[in-house]
C-alpha cells in the first residue's frame, strides 16, 4: 500500500504488568481493579491516537497489551511486536498497523563492537584516563522495519528506553558497606552520576547502531522513545549528531543526523509547551520522536513532510495514577504527509 499520510507515537505504559505479578523491587503489584483501569485508560488513549506505529516502553507482559487491544476493539488493527515480554523484565515493544510490518523484529541487548569508551586523552595530558565498561542496554532496543510505500526502501524504526535520571542505589554495594560513613553523605550525587554515565553510554551505543543503518544510505529512520532527557541535553546531542535546522528556501539534510520532532513543531508554532513528565513540579521533555532527513522539510532527500505534533499530557495532573489507570508520561504523536522534494 502507498500511504499518503502516516503517524507515529511514543507511549510509556507505566509498568504494564499482569495483576499480581512482580515488577521492580519496591513496586507494588497491580490489583485486579487497578489493572482493569489501566486496560481501559491505555486502550482509550491508543484509540484516540490512531497512530500507524506506536513505540511502547515499560511493557512487562505481552498478554497485558493484548488485553488492552481487546478492551479497545483494536485487535484487528495492530500487529503486536512484543515477543520477549514474558513478565520477567521490562521490554520495549511496538504496535504496527496491520499490513505495514516487514521482516522479523529484533531486540538488541548487547552494545555493538564499535562502542568503546576508553581514552587517555592525548590532547589534554592533564586529564586522567577514563574507561567505562558497560556491555549492554538496561532496556533492550527494539528494531523493526515497516513499508510505508510499495517502492523501497523500507523504513527502519528503533524503539528505545534509556536509563532514567533516578539515582542508582549504591547502599547495597560491597564497596559502600565497606565504608558507609565515607559514602553515605554522597549517595545522591554518586547514584545520579552512575545513572548519567549509563544513559550516556546507552545513547552512544544506539547512535553507533543508527550510524550503521544511515551512513551512506537513503534509509528513512525513526527513533521513538523515552530517552529520559531533554531536547538540548547531551543525551539528545549524541543521538541526533546535532544537524543544522535549515529553514525557508534552504536545501539541507544530514546523512546520519536525526531531527527532533519537538524542534520541527517549534518552527510551526509561536509557543513551546512541550512537556511529557512532571517531577517535583518540574515539567520536562523526556519522550521524543527523532526522524532522519527523509522526514525533514528542508532536506534535499525529503520524502515525507512534517505535518504536526500533538502531546497528550493532561493526565500528568492526576494525583494518583493507580486510581485513574493513567500513565506518568505524556504520549507524543507525530504525523507526516507524502511529499518528496522536487
Say how far apart CA 50 and CA 54 lie, in whole Å: 9
CATH number at residue 304: 3.60.10.10
pLDDT at 275: 75
Say how far apart CA 313 and CA 246 lie, in whole Å: 29
pLDDT at 106: 97
Closest by CA position to 323, among listed 14, 33, 47? 33
pLDDT at 24: 92
Write out the three cell numbers for 337: 504527509
Q: What is the dihedral of CA 316, 8, 238, 266, to 10 degrees?
A: -70
pLDDT at 112: 97
Residue 123 lies in a domain: no
pLDDT at 30: 97
The answer to whether 145 and 157 have CB atoms below 8 angstroms apart is yes
CA distances 184 to 117, 164, 167, 175, 190, Å, are: 28, 21, 13, 11, 10
Counted domains in the chain: 1
Say how far apart CA 339 and CA 237 lie, in whole Å: 28
Higher-scoring residue by pLDDT: 45, 124? 45
Residue 190 lies in a domain: no
In the 3-class helix/strand/coil scheme, how is 152-164 assigned residue by residue?
CCCEEEEEEECCC
Owning domain of residue 290: 5-110+140-162+218-338
Closest by CA position to 50, among listed 113, 110, 95? 95
Residue 181 lies in a domain: no
- What number is the average pLDDT over the span 61-79? 98
- What number is the average pLDDT over the span 263-284? 75
- What number is the average pLDDT over the span 313-332? 87
Its pTM stands at 0.94
Helix (H, G, I), strand (E, B) or coil at 297: coil
| β-strands 53-61, 86-97 pairing | antiparallel
Whether residue 189 has pLDDT greater than 90: yes
- What number is the average pLDDT over the span 95-107? 98
Helix (H, G, I), strand (E, B) or coil at 140: strand
Share of the chain above pLDDT 70, in %: 96
Higher-scoring residue by pLDDT: 341, 304? 304
Residue 167 lies in a domain: no
The answer to whether 153 and 5 have CB atoms below 8 angstroms apart is no
Residue 182 lies in a domain: no
pLDDT at 269: 77
Q: What is the largest CA-CA distance in the chain?
A: 67
Residue 179 lies in a domain: no
The dihedral region occupied by 6, where left means phi > 0, alpha psi between -120 and 50, and beta the remainder, is beta
Residue 169 lies in a domain: no
What is the tens place of the pLDDT at every residue in 133-181? 999 999 999 999 999 999 999 999 999 999 999 999 999 999 999 999 9
What is the tens place of the pLDDT at every residue in 207-261? 999 999 999 999 999 999 999 998 889 999 999 999 988 655 556 788 999 999 9
Say how far apart CA 63 and CA 69 lie, in whole Å: 10
Residue 173 lies in a domain: no
Amino acid at each position: 500500500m502507498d500511504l499518503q499520510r502516516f503517524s507515529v507515537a511514543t507511549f510509556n505504559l507505566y509498568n504494564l504488568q499482569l495483576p499480581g505479578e512482580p515488577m521492580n523491587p519496591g513496586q507494588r503489584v497491580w490489583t485486579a481493579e487497578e489493572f482493569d483501569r489501566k486496560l481501559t485508560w491505555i486502550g482509550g488513549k491508543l484509540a484516540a491516537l490512531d497512530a500507524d506505529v506506536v513505540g511502547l516502553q515499560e511493557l512487562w507482559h505481552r498478554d497485558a497489551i493484548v488485553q488492552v487491544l481487546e478492551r479497545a476493539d483494536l485487535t484487528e488493527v495492530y500487529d503486536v511486536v512484543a515477543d520477549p515480554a514474558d513478565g520477567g523484565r521490562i521490554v520495549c515493544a511496538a504496535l504496527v498497523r496491520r499490513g505495514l510490518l516487514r521482516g522479523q523484529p529484533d531486540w538488541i541487548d548487547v552494545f555493538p563492537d564499535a562502542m568503546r569508551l576508553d581514552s587517555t586523552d592525548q590532547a589534554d595530558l592533564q586529564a586522567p584516563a577514563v574507561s567505562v565498561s558497560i556491555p549492554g542496554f538496561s532496556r533492550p532496543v527494539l528494531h523493526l522495519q515497516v513499508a510505508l510505500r510499495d517502492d523501497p526502501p523500507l523504513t527502519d524504526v528503533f524503539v528505545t528506553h534509556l536509563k532514567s535520571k533516578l539515582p542508582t542505589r549504591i547502599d547495597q554495594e560491597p564497596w559502600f558497606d565497606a565504608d558507609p560513613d565515607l559514602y553515605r553523605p554522597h549517595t545522591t550525587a554518586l547514584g545520579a552520576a552512575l545513572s548519567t554515565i549509563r544513559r550516556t553510554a546507552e545513547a552512544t551505543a544506539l547512535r553507533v547502531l543508527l550510524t550503521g543503518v544511515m551512513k551512506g544510505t537513503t534509509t528513512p529512520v525513526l527513533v521513538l522513545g523515552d530517552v529520559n532527557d531533554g531536547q538540548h541535553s547531551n543525551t539528545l546531542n549524541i543521538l541526533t549528531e546535532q544537524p543544522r535546522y535549515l529553514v525557508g528556501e534552504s536545501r539541507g539534510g544530514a546523512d546520519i543526523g536525526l531531527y527532533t520532532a519537538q524542534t520541527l513543531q517549534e518552527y510551526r508554532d509561536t509557543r513551546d509547551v512541550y512537556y511529557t513528565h512532571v517531577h517535583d513540579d518540574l515539567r520536562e521533555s523526556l519522550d521524543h520522536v527523532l526522524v532522519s532527513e527523509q522526514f525533514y522539510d528542508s532536506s534535499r532527500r525529503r520524502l515525507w513532510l512534517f505535518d504536526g505534533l500533538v502531546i497528550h499530557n493532561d493526565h500528568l495532573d492526576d494525583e494518583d495514577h493507580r486510581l485513574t489507570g493513567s500513565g506518568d508520561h505524556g504520549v507524543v504523536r507525530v504525523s507526516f504527509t507524502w511529499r518528496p522534494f522536487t
